[in-house]
Structure 1
Amino acid sequence: MPLSAPDLTKLQLLDAALPNVAFDGWSPATFTAAVAATDISIDRARHLFPRGATDMAVLFHTEGDRAMVQQLGRENLSELRFRDRVARAIRIRLDVIDDKEAVRRGTALFALPHLAADGAKLIWGTADAIWNALGDTSDDVNWYTKRATLSAVWASVVLYWLGDQSEDYADTDAFIDRRIDEVMQIEKIKAQVNGNRFLKPLTGPLGQLLGMVKAPTRMQDVKVPGMWRTGDDQ
């Protein structure tokens, strides 16, 4: 599902802010400079970005997700193994970043305790965008485990990429492959455990419990991403 484009005025302010982020971070000074560089009133700017540069940092991230989804839609991934499709999506997400310092500053910003929840939500959003773009149709607990696992991979990849000075980010490419290989090993172990008849007395009840978990629907409150199946739902 394509991510909707934001207000053009918001993009104009974001573009005006980016040259200052390397020096002042996602700070009030950056927000003020962005407003001064445009003909947009301060009241309008504060209406669009109630938290100032913090909301600009959020928009910078989600615009990266949107660019990634658009690029994925132009590629033919049909001949790739699924693990390679995920790896390709992660690489594209990095490739669409045109301001590495803005990401570095954003990583520091969302590491602050009072913004940690925002940072986690953005990471989850990237993982969700990747799975949706790759056609994920899971509607049970797998919807959550896929995104949780990919969120952890994406977070570690970004941190590695920020410090990578290898040519064409070759070290980051190798790091991505290693992380995905590790995930595939975990999935292999899970399949072996679930298929072990001696463990069925233990895994069976847990599997039934997890089977009651549903993926969120578009009509649900985003603050409550899942729900339990009731008798009427089954």
Structure 2
Amino acid sequence: MRVVVVDDHSIFRSGLRADLDASIDVVGEASDVGSAIEVVLRERPDVVLLDVHLPGGADASLAGGAEVLRRAASEVPSTRFLALSVSDKAEDVVGVIRAGARGYITKGASGDEVSRAVHAVASGDAVFSPRLAGFVLDAFGAAGGEVAAADDELDRLSGREQEVMRLIARGYAYKEVAATLFISTKTVETHVSSVLRKLQLSSRHELTAWATARRLL
């Protein structure tokens, strides 16, 4: 997994590089908007770990991370962007997701959690720290224009499947769902597969969009 790390603090970049698991190869680093765009376009990594607030932006209306996304993402369509920031403000979370990031996790996450998030985003999933997911769901649900799902859609799911669906759609990892519901991780995986099959969805990202549009969370 080829990754570029973008953050304006060199100590944080060094620490993160050391904490990521062995399957992740950090192929480039950057500390500001201009150098981030340059290294992303040059390396075309699988995933960019992107801080939200970066110096060197040319557009005062955008946070640095959002500007990197607006200027670089269309040039590297196969690259996924994962926001990694100390900020947990709603405007930062929603702003960078609207710009095109596939997820947002805070810097309090462990190396293992960041590594799992990198792999999940690379696979097409959306990943959010659980307490941040509500900001995204509220913002995009309000704009979606869809009302609560019809009863027959939810009736396809058992009560337990509905519980699992809501937690997964909020960005919880399988282990977190298992701990919350006091079931095994394997059981969570089984329920998720069943939910996706019954709703005719193909990924956690689609499940999040489905639940958000219907204001089920």
TM-score range, shorter chain: under 0.3
After TM superposition, the score normalised by the length of structure 1 is 0.25
Q: Write 1 or 2 for the structure with the bigger share of strand.
A: 2
TM-score by length of 2: 0.26
